[in-house]
């Protein structure tokens, strides 16, 4: 299962608000899916990395269920 706990920690550490994500092209539904550790598109992950200036491994990780 892919989880996004690293995303929230990265955002907190770098003082990035959810508001900034919404105004940078991340949809409200994608943000909701991220909060619930539900699947999101690769395009959404790509946008997050561009907005945050980070690598994929900085915002998500795989854990076995």
CATH classification (class only), 2-62: mainly alpha
pLDDT at 53: 97
- pLDDT at residue 65, rounded to an integer: 82
Longest dimension (CA), the chain: 33
C-alpha angle 54-57-61 in degrees, rounded to nearest 5: 140
Question: Tens-digit pLDDT profile for the chain (65 aa)?
Answer: 999 999 999 999 999 999 999 999 999 999 999 999 999 999 999 999 999 999 999 999 999 98
Q: What is the pLDDT of residue 27?
A: 96
């Amino acid at each position: 299962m892919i989880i996004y706990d690293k995303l929230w920690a990265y955002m907190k550490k770098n003082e990035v608000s959810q508001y900034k994500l919404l105004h940078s092209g991340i949809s409200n539904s994608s943000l909701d899916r991220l909060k619930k550790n539900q699947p999101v598109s690769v395009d959404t992950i790509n946008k997050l990395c561009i907005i945050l200036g980070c690598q994929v491994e900085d915002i998500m990780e795989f854990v076995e269920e």
